[in-house]
Amino acid sequence: MYPTLYHAIYDLFGLEISALKIVNSFGFFVAMAFLVAAALLRREMDRKQSMGLFQSTTQKIRVGEPVSGMEIAGQGLLGFLFGWKFLYLIFNASELFASGMPQEHLFSGKGSVLLGLIMGGGLAGIRWRQSRSSQLDKPRTESTELPASQHVGGIITAAAIGGIVGAKLFHLLEYPDELVRFFTDPSLSNFLGGLTIYGGLLMGGLAVFLYGRKYGLKFLHLADATAPGLMLGYGIGRIGCQVSGDGDWGIPNPNPQPTWLQWLPEWTWSYAYPNNVNGVYGPRSAGYTGKLIEPTDPWPIFDGYGTYLDPAVFPTAFYETVLATLIFALLWSLRKRIQIPGQLFAMYLIFNGFERFWIEKIRVNAIMEMAGIEFTQAELIATLTFLAGAFLWFWFPRRNHHQATSH
């Protein structure tokens, strides 16, 4: 496992780049997931606009006006924060990274005021000079046509904010003891640790719906455009879970690898997650025990981590990456054939719910009980997601037919 990119580069290539310790492996792949989803969404929105399903918008802009003092101040503030935190981090890398948790620095009071003032003053000055060079004696108004895909940045931002809030909220609903732990020990690790993907999908989806409604984007066409990217982004995010060992793994799997799967690496069947980012140590109710890696074990020992699971468990994050990629390929291949608005998104809901429900059968998660029936939060949401997708798959054609005949 590679908790940060530093550990990955060092183990794979023998290069020791201390600055990469601040880049968590999970966070890196989540960022990649958003970038890939944004690229696919932009491509789909451009395609749908060429079909007349989205419209470009006319925006009027003022050219040649002097820049406002607030804009210069904002530029200076960004420069100050960059110099105060990140330049200080670079110039004091050896000291900060020796602590093992350089991320804590970002939320501490440590920094260089001098470097912040230099960067802030420099950026503010550059912005002022740019404004002076483009200023006109008589500012004018110009109109420009903007494609619908201009909203991709706003959509992704809304999805990211809503997704993070929803993922954290649903995780705390599933594990309420962690909320108590945060208030008793309000550390960065306690705040950032633990996210529930379905909470992120639900709240992120709501945020995108509200954004589309605000800017007049037809929601069903927008939902169809987002579906393939959502699925592939989900799979890329799960790579981060697998690489970092963030606890998204399965139940113990001490069984030998079946003969018909011998062509696959052993870790795809059962994995001990050495150097997992959670640093699991001691027995767990799921049936495995976190143990310290010994020098005789076949894995390196990373400072601050150095534990593995015994017995090894199902690598469910890897399975979800494979399944998500296959579902994405299906959605992408059918996106031009399915003509009824909303049906592609309904298919996404069906396969997403189906995939997650069955993964839960071998995945570690908190068990809930209602009316004598035991289930996990993810199983419940996956079931509702599947049923909602199935309902919409059959309802959208009827709705489309009714609208066509009524006109």
pLDDT given for residue 39 in this prediction:
95
The token pair that represents 186 in the structure block:
């309000």
pLDDT at 341 over 60: yes
Give the pairing of strands 140-146 and 57-63. Answer: antiparallel
Answer yes or no: are the C-beta atoms of 63 and 92 closer than 8 Å: no
pLDDT given for residue 107 in this prediction:
57
pLDDT given for residue 20 in this prediction:
81
Domain range list for the chain: 5-56+147-250+314-406, 60-145, 251-313
CA atoms of 204 and 160, how far apart (whole Å): 7
Answer yes or no: are the C-beta atoms of 131 and 67 closer than 8 Å: yes
pLDDT at 200 over 80: no
- pLDDT band (50, 70, 90) for residue 195: low
* 44-53, 175-184, 294-303: least confidently modelled range: 175-184
pLDDT at 95 over 70: no
The token pair that represents 160 in the structure block:
């990211």
- Above pLDDT 70, what percent of the chain? 89
Higher pLDDT, 112 or 340: 340
Residue 294 to residues 12, 272, 278, 307, 347, Cα–Cα distance (Å): 20, 14, 18, 9, 48
Half-sphere exposure of 122 (CA within 13 A, CB side): 11
CA atoms of 204 and 289, how far apart (whole Å): 35
pLDDT at 138 over 90: no
pLDDT given for residue 32 in this prediction:
94
| 257: DSSP letter | P
Average pLDDT for 123-136: 84
pLDDT at 102 over 60: no
CA atoms of 253 and 241, how far apart (whole Å): 18
Higher pLDDT, 336 or 96: 336
pLDDT digits (tens, 9 = 90+) for 223-281: 999 999 999 999 999 999 999 998 889 999 989 999 999 999 999 999 999 999 888 88
Higher pLDDT, 159 or 347: 347
| 266: DSSP letter | G
pLDDT given for residue 42 in this prediction:
95
Average pLDDT for 351-376: 86
- Above pLDDT 90, what percent of the chain? 41
pLDDT digits (tens, 9 = 90+) for 291-319: 999 999 999 989 888 999 999 999 999 99
Q: Is the peptide bond before 311 cis (omega within 30 degrees of 0)?
A: yes
- pLDDT band (50, 70, 90) for residue 370: confident
Q: What is the mean pLDDT of the chain?
A: 85
Indicate the pTM of the whole model.
0.81
